[in-house]
Chains A and B, each alone.
Chain A
Amino acid sequence: MADTQQDQVPVTVLTGYLGAGKTTLLNRILSEEHGKKYAVVINEFGELGVDNDLVVDTDEEVFEMNNGCICCTVRGDLIRIVGGLMKRRDKFDGIIIETTGLANPAPVAQTFFVDEDVKARTRLDAIVTVVDAKHLPARLADSAEAAEQIAFADVIILNKMDLVTPEEAAEVERLIRQINRFAVIHRTERASLPIADVLDQGAFDLQRVLESHPDFLGDDEHEHNEDVSSMSFEVDRPLDPERFNAWIGDLLAQKGQDLLRTKGILSYEGDDRRFAFQAVHMIADGDFIGPWKGEERKSRIVFIGRNLNRPQLRRGFEACQAS
């Protein structure tokens, strides 16, 4: 596999409950001077205050793939829209996809793994979830989607910080960390933050996450098996690609329903390039992303999902090391 990321259009998926501040963020992205142009795919036309010929209005059309994967759903409208946008590829630098408030992020993420044309021409840069700091605890209590949107996120924008006390802020951040310890969290008011913190994150490159979160691999004190939680593992010796593929393939096939996201940076035996692996439920994808540079050659993997069995996952990952 070649290092093809450069030619592919970066795609940012923007999720979050109605009223969390997605539209405010989109308006900022479209109106601020940042020297780049983004094609924006939205569901409710007219909410945006900015007139832009690159805004695309769509209906979310989720359908099941007939590929034997019971939970494999994709967004058919996005397949068509990405195909259409490629006809004027030179007019924009990236694509931003807004999902409706109640949407499960899995179908949109899976679209970028499953459709061969979309996969060839785009790369999922990051899933960004906008969260209302004041109302998140209530949302988490009354809906499964709120937890899933946090679980899927690479970047979380903790918005409306002006409406909460420091204690409430600490509590909401604790709740987020319980679900997803690996997302980058930005605290904002009126979704105000540098655009560079949202777009072009290369978020599945775990290296960046590690740089911003030195405690990334710290042990989780709070494990709630039925709730969504996150775990990570690290091994020193290079992996045997065949063993890893066999193990992860089996794991995703059996536990894919519970595994919302899986991400890894892997050191393969006999290859001096980093291998980036990621999966959404059962659908996996991987590619070499350039050489190891100076850093320790360790393989790291992250699981975000329900019913995670720490000892089992650790033993499985460790057994993938080349002997």
Chain B
Amino acid sequence: MCLSVPTKVIEVFVNDQQARVDYLGARFIVGVALLECVQPGQYVLVHAGEAIQILDEEKALDGLALWKEMLGEA
């Protein structure tokens, strides 16, 4: 129900609330009205033609950190 793809923002069209995004070299135009402010160079998660969140690069590895923590408890 939520097939979504992380993509890189190439260009933003502020007036149309749309952006050109790239995933592995394939490019699409998607809507960005669900996000406050999107900049080229950022990464956004896209579902059914809409960007639904900006990827947090700093948090990207947190999942693995939690894993190490939990396994350490054994």
A binds B: no
Give me the interface of A with B, judged by CB distance under 8 Å: none
Give me the interface of B with A, judged by CB distance under 8 Å: none
